[in-house]
Copies of this chain bind each other. A is one copy, B any other.
């Protein structure tokens, strides 16, 4: 059952990988909206209908690319977190943020695929959730570690938001206090606001020294979330 049907399955996996690779190339060249099954097939020297043996629809292909993108970004974040090691929490946070930004700048179309406007009529299936969570988990880890040492300031939390924050903490990080969970999620969203603005051209004619500006903004983000 393993090596017996292996030959066929191996071939299938190889073709699947080749399709994804070609699609990714085309994604990088033209963007998600112009990803065409026919062009992918053309590049691989097969007929367009043959692709449907491997991906039941264009959306399924997109889903596969989305998962890969989430995973790649998550891996980059994890690597940065690991490299930062035992540095001060705020520096760990900044390191992860810069990894996210760097990955986004080197893979703009894949970033747009996962953090840009959702493709209309396309709802990301549950399959993408674990991959999507990886980057968030890294961020959670930074805050968790900060709480071990004295690297986390007290944070205000209005009575109004307390129930939601408690629910949120129970959901994503039961060992973190509600106010920390809330601050973290906010910082997470704001980080991607910075990256998206830079990537999507909103900083054109506004920010020149993007690198330094990002570092500055992200430092503020970290402090605002209680890290030091």
Contacts of A6 in B (CB 8 A): none
Q: How far is the CA of A32 from the CA of B32 in the complex (A)?
A: 13
Contact of A120 among B30, B217, B223 (CB under 8 A): B30
- Which of B115, B188, B190 is in CB contact (< 8 Å) with A200? B115
A141 interfacial by beta-carbon distance below 8 Å: no
- Please state if A121 and B30 are interface contacts (CB–CB under 8 Å): yes
Of B158, B185, B188, B192, the contact of A196 (CB 8 Å cutoff): B192
A-B pairs with beta carbons under 8 Å apart, 24 shown: A30-B120, A30-B121, A31-B117, A31-B119, A34-B120, A112-B117, A115-B196, A116-B116, A116-B117, A117-B117, A124-B201, A160-B216, A161-B209, A161-B216, A171-B206, A182-B213, A182-B217, A185-B207, A186-B213, A189-B194, A189-B203, A191-B193, A192-B197, A223-B224
12 additional A-B residue pairs with CB within 8 Å, beyond A109-B120, A189-B203, A192-B193: A31-B117, A33-B120, A115-B196, A115-B200, A160-B215, A168-B206, A182-B217, A185-B206, A186-B213, A193-B194, A220-B224, A224-B224
